[in-house]
Amino acid sequence: MATMRRIAVLTGGGDAPGMNPAIRAVVRTATAAGIEVYGIRQAYSGLLAGDFERMSNRDVSGIIQRGGTILQTARNLEFKTPQGQKRGLRRLNEHGIDGLIVIGGDGSLRGALALHTLGFPVVGVPGSIDNDIWGTNMSIGVDTALNTILDAIDKLRDTASSHERCFLLEVMGRNCGYLTLMGGILGGAEFIVIPERESTLEEIGQALEDAYMRGKSHAMGVIAEGASLNIDEVATYLESHEIGFEVRVTVLGHVVRGGRPSAFDRLLATRMGVAAVEHLLANETGIMVGLQGREIGTVTLEDATTKQRSVSLEYVNMAEFLAK
């Protein structure tokens, strides 16, 4: 087994708050172990372009509180092909890199698995606001995104109750309803629409009409971007069915991805960054670090990228009776 002397780190997929503290932890843990670290800019695009830069402890000063990722990120189609992956491996070898840490979502982790399958030592770190990665209770960025969603819901409620309106809020999360479900429960939404559970326009209309008749001064509906019912379709239906409340629509969009990482995300990112380097230096590779209970454990990259994580139906049931 070769001794690691030089490692590289990249952030991939959608940026997530907490990626910077993770980069900082990687650089400083490796430096403390006497290992050189290179940052690869713009994920797999930078890997293919050979955009590598030596990082010292000073390069990661003052970033623990910053959202986004100082290494930047990109979505790259070429790296999804076997030819692109081989070219990526060639670039790593050209730069004398002995091991790689990939911080990102499922697409980035699939890229990490491809490099591992080609024989290159890789450790993954789950970073995505969607919380759709198998093998970790929470990914980096989820907690901050959830707090941003709650801030928006709390603010919308102020104006909703002043006007006796129903607000519909669309929340990111790709095909995963985690952020919408948790945001809806914790923000006190009257209804929640997620990809994992079928909802009908009729049941949404009925729930809101009931809420109006029970004397609620406002209502809130949270709809996941990946749900089969689209927010405009719901708004049109509600407007034409006289549910009592006036209806307004807000799409949160990429706002959810920004902002200072929360204390939880800084701690999670720091622990995962440290653990990722420790595993890489111990030649424990082809794995992803993950939060398992209170501990940072590991799963194989194969499992992390092929097993399906789903939202707990317990929460779906809870959301229904808590909204009454």
Q: List residues near ligand F6P by CB under 6 A.
A: 13-14, 75, 105, 128-130, 172-174, 225, 257
Of 252 and 299, which CB lies nearer to ligand F6P in the complex structure? 252
Of 173 and 195, which CB lies nearer to ligand F6P in the complex structure? 173
Which secondary structure element, helix H or strand E, spans residue 182, and what is its range?
helix 178-186
For the chain, helix (H) and strand (E) counts, in that order, are 11, 11
- Which residues, 6 or more positions from 1, have their beta carbon under 8 angstroms from its beta carbon? 283
Q: Which entry of 15, 106, 130, 143 is annotated as an active-site residue? A: 130
Of 15 and 98, which CB lies nearer to ligand F6P in the complex structure? 15
Of 129 and 138, which CB lies nearer to ligand F6P in the complex structure? 129
Q: Give the separation between CA 147 and CA 141, rounded to whole angstroms.
A: 10
Categorise residue 144: left if φ over 0, alpha if ψ from -120 to 50, beta otherwise: alpha
| C-alpha closest to that of 168 among 225, 215, 241, 228 | 225
Q: How far is the CB of 148 from ligand F6P (least distance, A)?
A: 12
Cβ–Cβ < 8 Å for 245, 219: yes
Q: How far is the CB of 2 from ligand F6P (least distance, A)?
A: 34
Q: Give the separation between CA 25 and CA 244, rounded to whole angstroms.
A: 52
Task: For residue 50, report the phi and psi dihedrals to the nearest 5 degrees.
Answer: 70, 30
Q: How far is the CB of 93 from ligand F6P (least distance, A)?
A: 30
| C-alpha closest to that of 179 among 219, 139, 218 | 139
Cβ–Cβ < 8 Å for 190, 216: yes
Whether 130 sits among the annotated catalytic residues: the reply is yes
Q: How far is the CB of 14 from ligand F6P (least distance, A)?
A: 3
| C-alpha closest to that of 298 among 308, 283, 284 | 284
Q: How far is the CB of 16 from ligand F6P (least distance, A)?
A: 7
Residue number, nearest CB to ligand F6P: 14
- Tell me how far CA of residue 187 lies from CA of 147, 190, 208, in angstroms: 10, 9, 16
Of 132 and 190, which CB lies nearer to ligand F6P in the complex structure? 132
Annotated catalytic residues are 130
